[in-house]
Homo-oligomer: A and B are copies of this chain.
Amino acid sequence: MQSPSPSADGRASDLPAYAVLLRTLNRELNRSTLDFAHQHGLHATDIHALSVIMDSAENPDGPATPSRLREELRLTSGAVTACLDRLERAGHISRVRDSADRRVVHLVYNPHARSLAREYFSPLARATEAARSRFSADELTTIATFLGTLNAALAAEHEGPA
């Protein structure tokens, strides 16, 4: 009844189909996170925090701080403190006072957490590589550009939706 879609896989490229694909992807990624958290006696919150701390370490916006986590994870300050206490107690991260502004705490992850993170992302990396292997270099470039564009659009949605 809809467009006959001459290309072999074309039936799955309209907006509703994209919505289902993205929702499913979100669920799969969350499930990976939960499984990994359970395996290590941590909570989903802790893993998400670790993910933010990891990405902040490599990004030019500077190292992660408790305030940053509060915004990224939509937690209250008390919850952030508790989360960081858990991660620090388990040896994954350290709190380091900024020397310039001594109110600020920098969050750095220890070598221990580095290997933990590698382990966490290993199934994801395996699945991603399996999917990537089916596409050409040009196609992978297109897909990466799309993902970047989508991320930017989502970020714009909850920063200035008006």
A residues lining the B interface (CB < 8 Å): 7, 9-10, 12-13, 15, 17-35, 38, 48, 51-52, 55, 72, 74, 121, 123-132, 134-135, 137-151, 153-158, 161
- Minimum CB–CB distance from A2 to chain B (whole Å) comes to 14
A127 touches B150 (CB 8 A): yes
**A131:B143 contact, CB within 8 angstroms:** no
Instruction: State A30–B144 Cα separation when bound (angstroms).
Output: 20
Which residues of B are found within 8 Å of A31, using beta-carbon distances? 72, 74, 158
Give the shortest distance, in Å, between A118 (CB) and chain B (any CB): 11
Whether B19 pairs with A125 at a CB distance below 8 angstroms is: yes
Partner of A151, one of B21, B52, B55, B135: B21
